Amino acid sequence: MGNKNQDDYIKFNFDVSAYRLLGRELITDRITALFEIVKNSYDANSNVVSISFIDPNPKSEDSKIIIKDDGLGMTFNDLKNRWMVIGTSSKRRERTSPEPYNRKVVGKKGIGRFAVDLLGSKLTLKTKKKGSDQWIYLETDWSVYQRLEAEQLTIPFEEEKEFFTDIKNRYWFEDGEKDEQGTILKIEKVNNDWTEYDISRATKELSKLVSPNAKLTKYPFSIRIHSPFPNYQNVTIKPLSIIDYATKSIKLSFDKQQKLQEIVIHDKGELKKTNVPRRKFGLVDFTLYYFDQTAKRKFKREFNLDIDGIKIYRDGIITTPFAEHEANQLKQKDILGIDKRRYSGFFDKINSRDLLGFIELSDEENPNLIETTNRQDFLNNEEWKELKLFVIEQIEQIEKCLKYEREHVRETTKSDLTKADSGLKSIKKNLSAITKSASPEIKKQLRTVEADLNKLQGTVNKSIKDYAKLEQDSKQKESLFFSLVSLQTYASMFSHMTKHTIGHIIRDAEYFKNHFPNDKLVDRFKSISKRIFGEMNTLRQGIDFMLKYAQSDDNIEDINVQELLQNLFGNIYSELFKREGIETSVEIDKKLELRYNRKALEDIFDNLISNSIKALRGVSNKKIKCSGVVSNDKLTLYFSDNGIGILEEDKYRIFDIFFTRTAEEGGAGIGLYMVKTRIEAMNGSIEVVENEFKPNGATFEIVLPFEK
């Protein structure tokens, strides 16, 4: 063995505060810190990484965490020029690990080593390359950095630039066998107490490090946990096996040569695969599993894991699933936006606690999907937004399939109840015929059977009525939701209208107060009185418009379409149109009437107007037009604007719920879904057609029958 030389030191030159930024403040979760260190071992061609928790209590002087791998190890030059140098470019240049493993390296940012500081304040690193006859030791005491940082903060600003870290980190060599290799991190002065629960969580999270779909059979990668706790004294973590417990699953791939991405589309209860052109984010493999309650219980028993959403992998290794841990799943970060889809209860939306999925990225196919440095998210560029949209679209196909199945079950149940009622009536009729010719003793028995049949039929009849009421209640709840969403928009418009109207009234009333009476201003007073009356009438119309939401959604009436649209365009939205500089026109036959619910019809046009206003922002010479023609007992409406228009790739999905390109402007992706749902409830249709205002804008064709 060699001797420790007190005069041998390595100095790492960077600002004293950098270690805290990249250590405790950038990597803020202990599990994330473990991930970063283990990923370094993966990049070093390790087969096995062991994590040993020895008396992991900060109050114990013997507390330590030892992380050992059998990877390539480091030379002294690696240690000096790479280990503690921020953002080293070696992994960015060398994108695969050495032969024969050829793993795609995942630790490109060079911050994993700083994760050690989060686990403990003292590190002794031991490393060796195969073929070398010496182990290299390096000692780093993070408490020295912390103490020096505190001292630096007390130095006057003008002197601070001359005070940089140049801390001495002692190193030495010890003899070793030539065929030995690997790296060992001995972390002492543990910062936090590691309970059995913490180690259990670490075990579960580390099981997700390697994708279940990763092809690591020739050179496998496993993690072992050792701790004082009986259940985790010697545990080998394995990637999740192929999941056979899911209620539904989709597995999507891509055609690299043809640049085609597989997607699924719901079709009458089936999820059918089809190919679409490559999206902006690139090409991905995507595996998605949906679990109902029964499937969740089976999965939990098998793997002792919760269903916790979709994980993103790059070249087989997890990227950013491990944001700061929350015991309450509802508080966990939702980087894909699965749980941010509002109002999910109204539409039975599935969420991350129903889904388990794996998105497989690669540097080659997805270079612009870039993890943030703190591993909590991705850079919010167009490619990332498009990937999130892709994921939501595929989840929605499962939701449509589940909805179809529920409706099928509902219709089957209704049919079965009706058949049961008819069957009971038939049995009673036959029983009555038999009773007439039966003996007195048999008649007595048959009357008992008949009484039982009457009770059974009463139960069936009640079930039919209860089921019909349940369906009606469900429709009313959905209708209420639609009304509330529209009410939010109307309330905004009403507040603007009220503000301006009351402002006009106050100014005119103040004129009266200051000048009345005055015979010379009689004509002026008459003009002002007429204007006040008009403003009050406008205010009353707005109030009446809002009060309609207290009415039942079942009220059916004859509606003059032209008057309804003039009220929206000429009253409710008039102030906003003026402020936005929008020219409007309504070309509808004044005599044309539809028999329907007024509130629902207003919801349709309100959402179309709101969408057009957003589309017209940034456009000059703004126009919104609504025209209508009558043919074959139907009203065909054309609703147009000359705004930014609709992307060709979006035309097939703009009516999907929660699809939006205007999230930054408050768009929730509900409006056009609501419009389509309302119109289909009238047995009508809506679609995007050739634009009336070429070359920009969009035109919707709406077909409505004259009777509901």
pLDDT digits over 366-376, tens only? 999 988 766 67
Cβ neighbors of 568 (< 8 A, separation 6 or more) are: 602, 605, 606, 609
Q: Helices 598-615 and 440-515: crossing angle, nearest 10°?
A: 50
Asked if the model's pLDDT at residue 486 lies above 90, the reply is no
| Residues 104 and 96: beta-carbon distance below 8 Å | yes
Task: Verify cis geometry, omega within 30 degrees of 0, for the bond prior to 440.
Answer: no
Higher pLDDT, 617 or 187: 187
Higher pLDDT, 263 or 646: 263
- Quote the pLDDT of residue 163: 38
Asked if the model's pLDDT at residue 257 lies above 60, the reply is yes
| Residues 107 and 94: beta-carbon distance below 8 Å | no
List the one residue out of 593, 562, 600 whose CA is nearest residue 707.
593
CATH numeric code, 9-237: 3.30.565.10
Task: Read off the DSSP letter of residue 79.
Answer: I
Higher pLDDT, 14 or 429: 429
| Residues 170 and 207: beta-carbon distance below 8 Å | no
CA 490 from chain centre, in angstroms, equals 27
Cβ neighbors of 659 (< 8 A, separation 6 or more) are: 389, 392, 393, 650, 653, 669, 672, 673
Cβ neighbors of 481 (< 8 A, separation 6 or more) are: 343, 346
Cβ neighbours of 637 (radius 10 Å): 22
- Quote the pLDDT of residue 600: 79
Task: Read off the DSSP letter of residue 379.
Answer: -
- Quote the pLDDT of residue 271: 93
Is the whole-model pTM more than 0.75?
no
Q: How far apart are CA 452 and CA 135, in angstroms?
A: 89
Asked if the model's pLDDT at residue 343 lies above 50, the reply is no
Q: Which two tokens stand for residue 135?
A: 């182990």
Q: What is the mean pLDDT of residues 80-87?
A: 66
Sign of CA dihedral 82, 83, 88, 91: positive
Strand partners, 222: 48
- Strand duo 622-631 + 593-596: pairing: unpaired
- Quote the pLDDT of residue 86: 57
pLDDT digits over 101-153, tens only? 777 776 555 555 667 878 888 899 999 999 999 999 999 887 777 776 666 66
| Residues 174 and 21: beta-carbon distance below 8 Å | no
- Quote the pLDDT of residue 66: 96
Q: Residues 576, 490, 669, CA angle at the centre, nearest 5°?
A: 95
Strand partners, 314: 317, 361
Q: What is the mean pLDDT of the chain?
A: 78
Higher pLDDT, 74 or 444: 74
CA 197 from chain centre, in angstroms, equals 28
Cβ neighbors of 698 (< 8 A, separation 6 or more) are: 615, 640, 641, 643, 645, 646, 688, 691
CA distances from 312 to 13, 36, 317, 370, 653 (A): 35, 15, 8, 12, 24
Q: Which amino acid is at 186?
A: K
pLDDT digits over 533-582, tens only? 777 766 665 665 555 544 545 567 888 888 888 888 888 788 888 888 89
pLDDT digits over 392-439, tens only? 889 989 988 988 888 787 777 777 777 777 877 887 787 787 877 778
Burial of 287 (0-12, 13-18, 19+ CB in 10 A): buried
Total residues belonging to the chain:
708
| Residues 282 and 386: beta-carbon distance below 8 Å | no
CATH numeric code, 555-708: 3.30.565.10
Asked if the model's pLDDT at residue 252 lies above 90, the reply is yes
- Quote the pLDDT of residue 559: 82
Q: How far apart are CA 159 and CA 173, in angstroms?
A: 38
Task: Verify cis geometry, omega within 30 degrees of 0, for the bond prior to 517.
Answer: yes
Cβ neighbors of 209 (< 8 A, separation 6 or more) are: 35, 38, 39, 42, 223, 239, 317, 318
> 374-406 in b/e burial notation, b at 16+ Cβ within 10 A?
bbbebeeeebbbbbbbbbbbbbbbbbbbbeeee
pLDDT digits over 572-599, tens only? 788 888 888 899 988 887 677 777 778 7
Higher pLDDT, 214 or 309: 309
- Quote the pLDDT of residue 57: 85
CATH T-level assignment (fold) for domain 248-406: Ribosomal Protein S5; domain 2 (3.30.230)
Cβ neighbors of 166 (< 8 A, separation 6 or more) are: 11, 13
- Quote the pLDDT of residue 48: 93
Higher pLDDT, 162 or 707: 707
Ranges 157-166, 475-484, 633-642, 686-695: which has the least confidence? 157-166
- Quote the pLDDT of residue 25: 56
Helix (H) or strand (E) holding 125: strand 120-128
Residue 646 has phi, psi (to 5 degrees) of -120, 130
Asked if the model's pLDDT at residue 697 lies above 80, the reply is yes
- Quote the pLDDT of residue 664: 46
- Quote the pLDDT of residue 162: 36
